[in-house]
């Protein structure tokens, strides 16, 4: 029987008429912050606790944080929302009566045990308590005069020990701590609290419950803390930790407010509300949405040393977006994205294309500039633009060959820049496909920069949400830096994302175009690489990137860097994703061999799924997101 008179939404009324509210607390993600920032956040939390006027029950259940407040509380760095399912949250599912035994109880099909903290750890760091499992922390502020009296008594006791023949280091430390606390109480910067903590262990069987209990007791011994298994008072303490019921404080100890704030797991692994499902280092779910509306732009920069997982993550983004009806263009260097393209029936760009397919004067000006060797002055660029504008307005000029011949009249000798590459041009119109793949290695060097300019215009003409993956081709576009910069800046207006891939941020940033792209990509996925602190990354972020670790065949890890986040994130591929995204030569040789054997019998998607089933017999295919 739940000892509550009424539960009306988030408002709870106890049997003696006390009214309280039950809130879910969603703290900000502080993992990537520097220590001084983290400390300031916890200092603000401490002030919020000091300003409470009544009891406060803090719940950490199933990795989520809840407050049961008997008075008002304000919190910075957290989203507070009313929770209408307090009893279900506390019980771990649909409510059912608890049945009590000697030192445990059952609730539904679960075996549970309550352990109280008999001695708190002498030292605690921020977020240590987030690894303690489910617990309830009851706190109540001690009156200021009583608090000063208790601390002063402690100080006097330890002061006498300072004059022992042998120096008592522990007493000296305790005396100094009491002095600091007394100063804090006097200034109002600190408070003293009664605090009691109850850990809740849950298991599916009694044996599992016993094993988990033993492990937890040993864990707390290792941090100089003692736990007490509740036996005779089990049903009593169970009732007191139910939301809405006043705490008894029969297991309370005195805690200063700074220590108390560290007992609150005031952090959650969080990036976006929806998006690609990834993992934190603690294996909590993380969602990454490159099209999040709060982003300044939707562009992504992915950098990292070879073998760290850049192409795996870029493939994951492509895969996720294609599943969600996003259109795409892939400019590939090394066949990293060919399998994903084939899996989604993408079209390989024809060897020939029509530069005049899009009659935009600005685009055609950049196309011409990308193919010529000499550097045009601003004046000549203006003349070129005017000439192209006139040509585009002439409907009789319907082939690129005619276009160049007319342009030759204004710019003598310009046609020779296209002599080597004109075999790649056609007068036919390429249809705009939902997914277009271009193998960069199929074209000569002189053709690559014009091809990129053409593909960008092709991309801009796609309707709806779209992504463009550029795989390490930036050195070819320095002559078009201003144009590329403008595209990156304006893609957001067109619901478009450019995903740029490069091996090293420092090497990338020394070019004008690289700097522009860095400045115009909101999300940066930084895999491990050799870096120095710069205007783009401070020393703290560089250190985080240097500590990123990827394990081949298990996960790839990167640091997400944006104005809002500095967050280590891991991508654990499924069996199918690994086979689809891997660029390992041995893996791909086996896949290619199987594809040859099944050619004409299975299409690519069926063959790859079947290959994965053979390699992993217990795996079952489902539409993975």
Average pLDDT over residues 577-592: 93
Sign of the C-alpha dihedral computed for residues 84, 86, 91 and 95 taken in this order: negative
Which pLDDT value is given to residue 602? 92
Q: For residues 87 and 226, state if they share a domain.
A: yes
On whether residue 620 sits in a domain, the answer given is: no
Q: For residues 298 and 390, state if they share a domain.
A: no
pLDDT in tens, 349-375: 988 999 999 999 999 999 999 888 888
Q: For residues 257 and 312, state if they share a domain.
A: no
On whether residue 268 sits in a domain, the answer given is: no
12 or 165, higher pLDDT: 12
Which pLDDT value is given to residue 287? 97
Q: For residues 112 and 28, state if they share a domain.
A: yes
Q: For residues 440 and 413, state if they share a domain.
A: no
pLDDT in tens, 177-224: 666 777 777 777 888 899 999 999 999 999 999 999 999 999 999 999
**Domains in the chain: how many in total?**
3
606 or 473, higher pLDDT: 606
Q: Which residues of 509-545 are buried (b: 16+ CB within 10 A; e: fewer)?
A: beeebbbbbbebbbbbbbbbbebeeeebbeeebbebb
Q: For residues 22 and 117, state if they share a domain.
A: yes
CA distance 472 to 441: 12
165 or 10, higher pLDDT: 10
Looking at 394, 429, 464, which one is the last position of a domain? Answer: 429
CA distance 61 to 570: 24
Q: For residues 419 and 492, state if they share a domain.
A: no
On whether residue 153 sits in a domain, the answer given is: no
On whether residue 172 sits in a domain, the answer given is: no
pLDDT in tens, 421-443: 999 999 998 899 999 999 888 88
Task: Quickly list H helices, 162-256.
Answer: 169-187, 206-222, 234-240
Domain that holds residue 379: 355-429
Q: For all residues of the chain together, what is the average pLDDT?
A: 90
Q: What is the DSSP letter of 385?
A: H
CA distance 620 to 203: 28
Which pLDDT value is given to residue 176? 61
pLDDT in tens, 24-57: 999 999 999 999 999 999 999 999 999 998 999 9
**Statement: residue 159 has pLDDT above 50:** no
On whether residue 51 sits in a domain, the answer given is: yes
Q: For residues 215 and 134, state if they share a domain.
A: yes
**Statement: residue 412 has pLDDT above 60:** yes
Q: Kindly state the helix (H) or strand (E) to which residue 410 belongs, with its residue range.
A: helix 400-410
User: Residue 299 belongs to a domain with what CATH number?
Assistant: 3.40.50.300
pLDDT in tens, 86-126: 999 999 887 888 999 999 999 989 999 999 999 999 889 99
Which pLDDT value is given to residue 233? 93
Question: Cα separations (Å) of 225 from 141, 191, 218, 265?
Answer: 23, 23, 9, 18
On whether residue 165 sits in a domain, the answer given is: no
């Amino acid at each position: 029987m739940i000892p509550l008179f009424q539960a009306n939404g988030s408002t709870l009324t106890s049997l003696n008429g006390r009214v309280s509210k039950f809130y879910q607390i969603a703290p900000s993600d502080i993992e990537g912050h520097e220590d001084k920032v983290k400390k300031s956040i916890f200092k603000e939390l401490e002030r919020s606790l000091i300003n409470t006027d009544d009891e406060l029950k803090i719940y950490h259940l199933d990795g989520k944080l809840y407050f049961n407040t008997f008075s008002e509380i304000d919190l910075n760095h957290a989203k507070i929302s009313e929770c209408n399912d307090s009893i279900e949250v506390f019980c771990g599912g649909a409510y059912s009566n608890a049945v009590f035994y000697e030192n445990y109880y059952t609730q539904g099909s679960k075996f549970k045990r309550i352990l109280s903290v008999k001695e708190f750890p002498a030292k605690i760091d921020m977020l240590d308590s987030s690894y303690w499992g489910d617990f309830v922390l009851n706190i109540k502020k001690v009156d200021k005069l009583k608090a000063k009296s208790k601390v002063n008594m402690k100080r006097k006791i330890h002061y006498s020990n300072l004059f022992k023949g042998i120096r008592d280091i522990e007493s000296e430390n305790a005396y100094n701590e009491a002095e600091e606390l007394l100063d804090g109480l006097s200034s109002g910067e600190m408070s003293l609290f009664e605090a009691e903590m109850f850990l809740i262990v849950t298991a599916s069987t009694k044996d599992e419950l016993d094993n988990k209990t033993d492990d937890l007791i040993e864990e707390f011994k290792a941090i100089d803390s003692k736990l007490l298994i509740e036996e005779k008072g089990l049903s009593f303490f169970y009732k007191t930790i139910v939301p809405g019921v006043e705490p008894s404080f029969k297991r309370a100890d005195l805690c200063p407010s700074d220590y108390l704030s560290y007992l609150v797991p005031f952090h959650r692994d969080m990036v976006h509300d929806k998006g690609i499902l990834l993992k934190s280092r603690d294996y909590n779910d993380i969602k990454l949405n490159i099209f999040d509306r709060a982003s300044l732009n939707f562009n992504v920069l992915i950098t990292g040393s070879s073998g760290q997982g850049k192409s795996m993550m870029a493939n994951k983004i492509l895969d996720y977006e294609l599943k969600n009806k996003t259109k795409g263009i892939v400019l590939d260097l090394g066949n990293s994205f060919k399998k994903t393209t084939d899996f989604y029936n993408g079209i390989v760009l024809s060897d020939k294309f029509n530069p005049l397919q899009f009659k935009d004067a600005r685009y055609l000006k950049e196309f011409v500039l990308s193919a010529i060797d000499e550097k045009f002055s601003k004046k000549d660029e203006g003349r070129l633009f005017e000439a192209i504008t006139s040509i585009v307005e002439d409907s009789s000029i319907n082939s690129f060959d005619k276009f160049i011949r007319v342009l030759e009249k204004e710019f003598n000798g310009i046609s020779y820049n296209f002599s080597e590459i004109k075999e790649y041009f056609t007068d036919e119109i390429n249809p705009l496909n939902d997914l277009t793949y271009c193998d960069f290695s199929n074209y000569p060097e002189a053709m690559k920069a014009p091809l990129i300019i053409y593909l960008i215009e092709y991309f801009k003409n796609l309707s709806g949400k779209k992504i463009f993956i550029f795989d390490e081709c930036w050195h070819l576009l320095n002559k078009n830096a201003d144009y590329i910069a403008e595209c990156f800046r304006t893609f957001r207006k067109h619901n478009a994302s450019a995903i740029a891939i490069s091996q090293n941020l420092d090497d990338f940033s020394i070019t004008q175009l690289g700097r522009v792209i860095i400045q115009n990509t909101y999300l940066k996925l930084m895999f491990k690489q050799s870096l120095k602190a710069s205007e783009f990354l401070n020393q703290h972020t560089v250190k985080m990137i240097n500590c990123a670790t990827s394990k081949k065949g298990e996960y790839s890890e990167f640091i997400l860097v944006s104005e809002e986040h500095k967050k280590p994130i891991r991508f654990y591929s499924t069996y199918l994703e690994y086979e689809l995204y891997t660029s390992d030569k041995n893996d791909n040789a086996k896949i290619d061999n199987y594809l040859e054997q099944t050619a004409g019998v299975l299409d690519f998607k069926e063959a790859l799924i079947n290959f994965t089933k053979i390699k992993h017999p217990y795996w079952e295919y489902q539409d993975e997101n």
